[in-house]
């Protein structure tokens, strides 16, 4: 009959668990194909709610073909992306269009495992009428043990799912790194300002949907691992600028009032050592912390790219930075108080000898492990 209703029962897997866990390519069309895929997903992860939704769609299909024998029904599954957002929606729309080209439906019944996938309803409704929405909710026991199991499952999702872990782990991780460097540098008075800045930046990006816009511009952005360098460079620059600001404002207090013009060389020749010493005493820790953040971020990028020689190069930089901070602080004390007498056992002499020795040893070890070519042509490891 030409007027026979053709209803498509469509199951939505917004985060593409069926592709990640069962290695099944979507879209799926037909009872047998969906049953095989749902079974594979249930075997791969028996606790996966999307598998229950697929079985629910198949059960609904079997019920409808018995209840309405004069109508035509078909069951299908489409999936989005683990990245979520715009990318997931666009992928599901593409797969829906593929299914509708094969099965010319007059209406659809949406089957989901929750209410989050209903955000796609207006998009589907703009292409084909929706006759019903069917929720498949897994029943759980009310016992306390199973309640904790459910809580742990969602906690694990916050940790392991990249879509959620970027916020649940990434933001606290950045805050802990910043607080750690401020604590090591005795600059905890700036912790509130830095935490407020980072949280404000995250809320600004999420509030205006800038992360989705950046995801849509993905072809124009650098590779994902380079974001480690970009983020660490930005945070390092902020810490270093704070160090320069604190150093200059603190050192300015040691300058006497100028009777001569600001550019008088004799004035600066007499007061520059004390000015420089005060600047480094107050600003060296934050400046060194900023440089350390940059080096650690660069080392993290090389670790992701599995470039072992470049990681060791960053390690040498951290060793050199560690000793340079101590040397600069001791030198600043001498600039502030020229009467300090240097001996063979003075901290400045010890730090200088220890810094040169440990840096040379580190370079020699890298040389013996990776050979001369790494030092003569370091760009060979960039390819």
> pLDDT of 239-294, one tens digit each?
888 888 888 888 888 776 655 545 556 666 667 778 888 888 888 888 888 888 88
Q: Lowest-pLDDT range, 16-20, 77-81, 134-138, 229-233?
A: 134-138
What integer best gives the mean pLDDT of the chain?
A: 79
Bigger pLDDT: 15 vs 58 = 58
Per-residue confidence (pLDDT) for residue 58, from 0 to 100? 93
Q: Are strands 28-29 and 6-13 parallel, antiparallel or unpaired?
A: unpaired
| 226-252 helix and 265-304 helix, angle to the nearest 10 degrees | 160
The CA-atom distances, in angstroms, between 268 and each of 43, 174, 252, 256, 284 are: 77, 41, 12, 11, 21
> Region 18-29: what's the mean pLDDT?
90
pTM of this structure: 0.40
Domain residue spans in the chain?
Answer: 6-135, 222-382
Q: Are strands 130-135 and 107-112 parallel, antiparallel or unpaired?
A: parallel
Cross-strand pairs, 112: 135
* Residue 133, helix vs strand vs coil: strand
Cα distance between residue 116 and residue 348, in whole Å: 62
Bigger pLDDT: 228 vs 92 = 92
Per-residue confidence (pLDDT) for residue 222, from 0 to 100? 57
Per-residue confidence (pLDDT) for residue 60, from 0 to 100? 92
Per-residue confidence (pLDDT) for residue 141, from 0 to 100? 43
Per-residue confidence (pLDDT) for residue 163, from 0 to 100? 67
* Residue 176, helix vs strand vs coil: helix
Beta-carbon neighbour count of residue 59 at 10 Å? 15
Per-residue confidence (pLDDT) for residue 116, from 0 to 100? 56
| CATH code, residues 6-135 | 3.40.50
To which H or E segment does residue 76 belong?
Answer: strand 72-79
Please check the confidence at residue 304 and state whether its pLDDT lies above 80. Answer: no
Q: Lowest-pLDDT range, 89-103, 136-150, 244-258?
A: 136-150
The CA-atom distances, in angstroms, between 168 and each of 20, 174, 212, 316, 382 are: 21, 11, 17, 32, 32
Beta-carbon neighbour count of residue 178 at 10 Å? 21
Cα distance between residue 93 and residue 21, in whole Å: 22
Cα distance between residue 151 and residue 158, in whole Å: 11
Bigger pLDDT: 137 vs 14 = 14
Instruction: Quote the DSSP letter at residue 261.
Output: -
Q: Tell me: the pLDDT tens digits for 195-239?
A: 787 778 777 877 777 767 766 655 555 566 677 777 888 888 888
The band of 138, judged by pLDDT with boundaries at 50, 70 and 90, is low
Cα distance between residue 347 and residue 352, in whole Å: 8
Cα distance between residue 269 and residue 54, in whole Å: 80
Per-residue confidence (pLDDT) for residue 36, from 0 to 100? 93
Among left, alpha and beta (phi > 0; psi -120 to 50; other), residue 30 is left
Yes or no: say if 36 and 97 are a contact pair by the CB < 8 Å rule: no
Q: Tell me: the pLDDT tens digits for 329-368?
A: 888 888 888 777 777 778 888 888 888 898 888 888 877 7
Yes or no: say if 13 and 80 are a contact pair by the CB < 8 Å rule: yes
The band of 29, judged by pLDDT with boundaries at 50, 70 and 90, is very high
Side-chain-facing half-sphere of 101: CA atoms under 13 Å: 7
Exposure string (b/e) for 22-45, b if CB count within 10 Å is 16 or more? bebebbbbebeebbebbeebbebe
Q: Are strands 6-13 and 107-112 parallel, antiparallel or unpaired?
A: parallel
């Amino acid at each position: 009959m030409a007027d026979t209703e053709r209803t498509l029962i469509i199951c939505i897997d917004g985060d593409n668990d069926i592709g990640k866990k069962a290695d099944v390519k979507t879209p799926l069309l037909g009872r047998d194909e969906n049953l095989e895929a749902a079974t594979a997903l249930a075997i791969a992860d028996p606790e996966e709610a999307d598998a229950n939704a697929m079985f629910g769609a198949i059960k609904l299909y079997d019920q409808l073909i018995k209840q309405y024998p004069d109508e035509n029904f078909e069951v299908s599954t489409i999936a989005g992306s683990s990245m979520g957002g715009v990318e997931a929606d666009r992928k599901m729309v593409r797969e829906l269009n593929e299914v509708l080209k094969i099965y010319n439906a007059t209406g659809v019944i949406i089957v989901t495992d929750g209410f989050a996938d209903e955000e796609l309803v207006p998009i589907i409704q703009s292409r084909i009428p929706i006759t019903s929405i069917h929720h498949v909710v897994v029943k759980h026991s009310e016992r306390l043990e199973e309640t904790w199991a459910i809580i742990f499952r969602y906690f694990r999702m916050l940790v392991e799912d990249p879509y959620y872990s970027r916020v649940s782990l990434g933001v606290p991780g950045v805050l802990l790194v910043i607080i750690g460097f401020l604590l090591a540098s005795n600059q905890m008075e700036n912790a509130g300002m830095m935490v407020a800045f980072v949280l404000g930046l995250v809320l600004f990006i999420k509030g205006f949907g800038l992360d989705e816009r950046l995801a849509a511009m993905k072809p124009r952005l650098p590779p994902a691992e380079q974001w480690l360098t970009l983020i660490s460079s930005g945070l390092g620059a902020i810490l270093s600028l704070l160090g320069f600001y604190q150093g200059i404002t603190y050192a300015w207090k040691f300058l006497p009032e100028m009777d001569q013009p600001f550019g008088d060389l004799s004035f600066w020749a007499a007061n520059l050592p004390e000015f420089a010493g005060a600047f480094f005493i107050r600003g060296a820790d934050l400046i060194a912390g900023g440089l350390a953040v940059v080096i650690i971020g660069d080392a993290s990028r090389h670790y992701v790219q599995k470039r072992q020689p470049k990681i060791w190069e960053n390690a040498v930089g951290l060793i050199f930075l560690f000793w340079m901070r101590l040397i600069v602080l001791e030198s600043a004390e001498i600039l502030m108080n020229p009467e300090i007498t240097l001996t063979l056992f003075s901290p400045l002499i010890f730090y200088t000898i220890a810094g040169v020795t440990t840096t040379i040893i580190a370079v020699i070890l890298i040389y013996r492990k990776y050979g001369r070519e790494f030092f003569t042509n370091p760009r060979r490891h960039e390819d």
